[in-house]
Amino acid sequence: MAKIRLPTMIKDVGSCIFKKPFTREYPAVKVQVPEGYRGRHTFDPEKCISCGLCERDCPAKAIELVEVSGKRMPKFYLDRCIFCYQCAESCPRDAIKLSTTFEMSTTEKKELLILPEEFISKQKVTTDEGK
């Protein structure tokens, strides 16, 4: 029988006792996601020309054009979305952009909708403030 040897990993394992845990303290500490992370969509209604390319090209069929204040604009179904951002790529006017928002989990399915109204009202608020 070969001589008894200490397992190779024992030192490595032992040194961990005095270290802080490797896991992140999320949600107590916010996680920084890198720039360019494919999170929740943002949409610019001003730039949209209602061409419908995003609806046609979406591989998951997660985009539907809806009529909002006389203009057809995309409505995103996040429950179907696969976050590939083919829509942003297909958009000829760069109206669809990605954001680093990743906290989208919910128990309500209707919260997984992005309506164009959301961005229209926001813009109005900012211009109102400007006045």
Partner 1 sequence: MEMFEDAVDVLKKNLEDAILEFRVPKPRKAYVLLKPERHRDAISLLLKQVENAELSTITGTDLGNEIELNYHMACGGTITIKSRVPREKPVIRTITDILPGANLYEREVFDLLGVIFEGHPNLQRLMLPENWPQGDYPLRRDWKPHANQENSFVSEETSQTETEDLKDAGSIINVIVGPQHPVLHEPEMFSFKVDGETVVDVEVRLGYVHRGIEKAAERMMYFQNVYLVERICGICNAAHTTCFCQAVEDIGNIDTPPRALYLRTIIHELNRVHSHLLLLGVAGHLLGFEALFQHVWRDREPVMDIVERITGNRLMSGFNTIGGVRRDIDPNTIEKTLKTVKEVRKRTTFYKKVFEEDPTLRLRTEGVGVLSRSDALKFCVVGPVARGSGIAMDVRKDDPYAAYEEIPFNVVSYKECDTWARLMVRAEEVLESLDILDYALSHLPSGRLRVRVQRKIPEGEAVSRVEAPRGELIHYIKSDGTAYPYRVKVRAPTLANLMAFPDAIRGAFIADIPSVIGSLDPCFSCTDRMAFLDTKNGQKWHWSLDDVNNSKNRKALI
**Applying CB under 8 A, which residues contact partner 1?**
2, 5, 7-9, 12-13, 22, 33-34, 36-38, 57, 59-61, 80, 82-86, 89, 98
Cβ closest to partner 1, residue 45 vs residue 87: 87
Cβ closest to partner 1, residue 106 vs residue 123: 106
Residue spans of beta strands (DSSP E) within 1-131: 41-43, 63-68, 71-77, 96-98, 113-114
Give the pairing type, strands 71-77 and 113-114. Answer: antiparallel
What is the closest distance, in whole angstroms, from the C-beta atom of residue 94 to partner 1 in the complex?
15
Cβ closest to partner 1, residue 88 vs residue 115: 88
What 3-state DSSP class applies to 98? strand
What is the closest distance, in whole angstroms, from the C-beta atom of residue 118 to partner 1 in the complex?
22
Burial 98-114 (b: 16+ CB within 10 A, else e): beeeeeeeeeeeeebeb
